[in-house]
A = this chain, B = another copy of it.
Amino acid sequence: MGLDDRKLEVLRAIVEDYVATQEPVGSKALVERHQLGVSPATVRNDMAVLEDEGYIRQPHTSAGRVPTDRGYRLFVDRLSRVKPLSPAERRAIERFLVGAVDLDDVVHRTVRLLAQLTRQVAVVQYPSLARSKVRHLELVPISTTRLMVVMIADTGRVEQRLVELPGPLPADDVTDLRRLVNEKLVGSPLSETPPLVQALVDESAPHLRPAMATLSSVLLETLVERHEERIALAGTANLTRGGLLDFQGSLRPILEALEEEVVLLKLIGEAEPSTTRVLIGDENEIDNLRAASVVSTGYGPGSTIVGGLGVLGPTRMDYPGTIATVRAVARYVGDLLAQN
């Protein structure tokens, strides 16, 4: 059980070399490339122990060693040194994010930036409605019996829904409705609106009640209950880097998983403040992604979290670098949102 410092050092060296070369690494190559101060034979003994403990394995008898998921886990938890971003990366981030005019724009730029910097698949969740507050509700009459509801959230998200009214509604009534919903709802988090929305109907003047009932049910249904989460994705072409070695030969399951918004949300949407979550291979709950790793974190203005972002790549990935990049991007995006 005892893994002394040198054995850990050997593991670190194996992970680093394997990530860099993508080839099983042998004892001889290891002592040549790292100053371990011992002979290959000694390293071999250490390797045998590491293999017994399940941190590395041999693809075949006459090959070098490869880290297991467990090995990567140990590496990430205890062995990786934080890799500071290069100034070039820093500049890239800044350059990429200035000039964004729009929430859409911010999210799009972010996801492309992440994909480009990490050279992996990037995923960015739009600010969650569940964590947004209502900034304004606008009612726009489309016809006498149709209303478009536009909700503007403090996170910058704008959602619209078409409401089919039970009957024609005069313009003055629309104004009244608008005033009422805004008075009641502006400033409150969407997650806390249901009772307020309910109260709205009860407190409305009788002639407004049918319209308000329809309106409130639409609000409840589409904005609160089934919270409409949105996701942006980029860099799928990066899956093809490293030939077919990663992902055991088939991109299929990965691509399938990436098509499911629900899956993506599960991956990156459950973010804790200021933590970076790393899921390695088997640790992943989604079967299709057992051959992949995910690095994700939350982002938001200041220390609040409004959404998640992250990247997905082969288990054989540069964890320290990826973690650093994901964190940095999340921080920049948070700052950007804070300015807004």
Contact = CB atoms under 8 A, between A and B. Distances in A.
Nearest to A102: B161
A31 interface: no
A164 B99 CA distance: 13
Given A152-B148, A251-B251, A259-B237, A222 B101 contact: yes
B240 A259 contact: no
A240 B252 CA distance: 6
Interface string A238-253: 0110000000001110
Given A135-B142, A160-B158, A237 B222 contact: no
How many copies of this kind of chain does the complex include? Answer: 2
A312 to B, nearest CB: 14
Interface in A86-121: 101-102
Contacts of A158: 148, 150, 158, 160
Contacts of A222: 101
Interface of A: 101-102, 135-136, 138, 140, 142, 148, 150, 152, 158, 160-162, 222, 234-237, 239-240, 250-252, 255-256, 258-259
Report, nearest first, the 6 A-B pairs whose CB atoms are least far apart: A237-B255, A240-B252, A237-B256, A158-B160, A236-B255, A136-B140
